[in-house]
Amino acid sequence: MVGAAVDAGVTRMITMGVDLEHTERGLALAHKHPEVFAGVGHYPTETSPPDLEAMRMLARDERVVAVGEVGLDFQDSAGPPRDVQIERLDSLFTLAVELGLPVSIHNREAAAEVAAAIVAHPGLRGAMHYFALEWNWAERFLDLGFYLSFAGLVTRPSRNALREVVKRCPADRLLLETDSPYGQAHKRMGVPNRPAYLLDTATLVAELRGTSLDELAKVEHANAFALFQKMS
């Protein structure tokens, strides 16, 4: 899978963690492949609280470039109560600032609360993972200094408002992702996503922004290296 991605032109990948087990697996993969890096994360719908000390220890690894995936999910009724999620996110943001690492933020129906949590942690930086909101929220997170990360969702014909966000996003805040094995492009619905398929999204994003794939690639490299600094 990594080799296919590199062959397709995807030269850097981050495997985000959703719990300690997945973080450790991601780190093992990162140590095996120089193109892969890892995030130390705790998914918001996890029933158990984050083990901050274990996360802190894992984050000392040279291959860790982010605290993520972390965030809030008010859509999934199986997750912890809202106040518990917010309290946990506060501790995870505190950890990220302490470690000097960017965050990858999961947000489902919690944009106002996520924005408030960011404001409460001066110095926090990161990306809004799998961005799917309209311009008013895009502008809000851009004003907070965050990057917007777009996946295959933007390729779906019904997502006109999201395509407008892609067009208007400042070049130096634009990121692309796969969210593999999810986040498929429209033409691959029903097929597990893969890092190599990032080109599906990149092709449309380049078209929407009136640029070439080569120029978009240069922008993406610069932005990824600026945010996830240890990748460069």
Query: Model confidence over 21-57: pLDDT tens digits?
Result: 999 999 999 999 999 999 999 999 999 999 999 999 9
When pLDDT is cut at 50, 70 and 90, the band that residue 3 belongs to is: confident
Phi, psi of 14 (to 5 degrees): -120, 125
d(CA 232, CA 223) in angstroms, rounded, equals 11
Tokens read off for 99: 């470690």
Structural Rg of the chain based on CA atoms: 17
d(CA 77, CA 80) in angstroms, rounded, equals 8
Report the mean per-residue pLDDT for the chain.
95
When pLDDT is cut at 50, 70 and 90, the band that residue 111 belongs to is: very high
In the three-class reduction of DSSP (H, G, I as helix; E, B as strand; rest coil), residue 175 is classed as strand
d(CA 74, CA 85) in angstroms, rounded, equals 9
pTM of the model: 0.96
Asked if 92 and 42 touch (Cβ cutoff 8 Å), the reply is yes
Q: What is the DSSP letter of 49?
A: P
| For the chain, percent of residues with pLDDT exceeding 70 | 100
Instruction: Go through the domains of the chain in sequence order and give each one's CATH number.
Output: 2-231 (3.20.20.140)
Q: Given this model, what pLDDT does residue 189 score?
A: 83
Q: Per-residue pLDDT tens for 179-228?
A: 998 888 888 888 888 999 999 999 999 999 999 999 999 999 999 999 99
Say how many C-beta atoms besides its own lie within 10 A of residue 82's C-beta: 14
